[in-house]
Structure 1
Amino acid sequence: MMDFSTELAAAPSNDDLDTILKGLSAYNESEVGPADRLPLCVLIRDADGKVVGGLSGYTSWGWLFTQLLFIPQALRGQGLAASLLDQAETEARARGCKGAWIDTFNPQALKAYRRQGYEIFGELPAFVGERTRTFLKKTL
């Protein structure tokens, strides 16, 4: 058995995090095959070309995971969430993905995702304050 100790680290180094990621990735790959993880981003740019919002996520194991989706206040209500999701889903299909998932604790975002065909598969009630964190999926 190997000697070891544990340490709580509020600010781990990039190397520390990379070691954990590489170890977990190698283990998962040995169990279920390669993740083929690829970043996926759909950007919103202003007239000067500056990024002001967008969607960020990745595809892996045949799934699209949207990590972040932000639309500036001035651009909300114009169907941009639907457009960003459509573009990301189209690219995910081109990469061979069979499904997509996303989570939120924002009631407006939840409505937008459900309008796009996402279905709830899990919830954490009172995740932050009285807001529920909702997990959604969609078949692509």
Structure 2
Amino acid sequence: MNIDVTCEHNAELFDALVEGVRQYNAQHMGEEASEPLLVSARDEQGQVVGGVAGRTIYRQFLIEVLWVSEAARGSGLGRTLMAKAEEEARRRGCIAAQVDTLKFQAPEFYQKLGFEVVGQVNGVPPSPDRFFLMKRYV
């Protein structure tokens, strides 16, 4: 057996690992239907000023990133983007959404949208506290 360590992205290796997990999961949960879910906003010049990206899988909306430009913060754009993304997730049959965020990022934002803190990692300097949040749709 050879064990390699690399610091470069290897799409082929990554895909092989994901496929292995999918095969294992299928034994316990059935076949997966993972689909990307992206919602974005652009200004009049066509520049991205915000967006949400994630995926739906096993009736869950997994939020990978939410970003709103400094100029658009406080305008309600983040709330609007999340509403559109969650609407699509529900249309796909999702029963919950999940996200993790750092203390200085947006835990309060998600809580205002109805997410609950279901886990927290504290005291691992130099990292700030990390929050895991979930919102049930049913």
TM-score by length of 1: 0.90
Assess if the C-alpha contact under 8 Å between 2:62 and 2:99 holds in 1.
Answer: yes
Correspondences of 1:83-94 after superposition (within 5 Å)? 83-94=80-91
> Of the candidates 31, 35, 45, which is equivalent to residue 32 of structure 2?
35
Following superposition, the deviation at residue 126 of structure 1 comes to 2.9
Residue 48 of structure 1 aligns to which amino acid in structure 2? Q
RMSD: 1.5
Alignment match, 1:136 = 133
| Counterpart secondary structure, 2:88 | helix
Task: State the partner residue of 1:54.
Answer: 51
Residues 36-115 of structure 1 mapped to structure 2, 5 A cutoff: 36-115=33-112
Are the equivalent residues in 1 in contact too, given 2:49–2:72 (CA < 8 A)?
no
| Paired letter, 1:67 | E
Kindly state the Cα deviation for residue 12 of structure 1 after the two structures are TM-superposed.
Answer: 4.3
Cα 1:12/1:69, change in 2 over 3 Å:
closer
1:125 and 2:122 correspond: yes
Runs of 4+ in 1 over 6 A off after TM superposition: none
Whether the aligned pair in 2 keeps the contact of 1:119 and 1:136 (CA below 8 Å) is yes
Consecutive unaligned residues of structure 1, counting only runs of 5 or more, are none
Counterparts of 2:43 and 2:32 in 1: how far apart (Å)?
A: 34
Query: Gaps spanning 5+ residues in structure 2: where?
Result: none
Q: What is the TM-score when the length of structure 2 is the normalising length?
A: 0.92
Q: State the shift of 1:125 in Å.
A: 0.5
Count of residue pairs brought into register by the alignment: 137
Partner SS state of residue 40, structure 1: strand
- How far apart are residue 108 of structure 1 and its match? 4.9
Residue deviations 1:2-25 (CA, integer Å, cap 9, x gap) = xx2211121142111111111111
**Amino acid corresponding to residue 122 of structure 1 in structure 2:** G
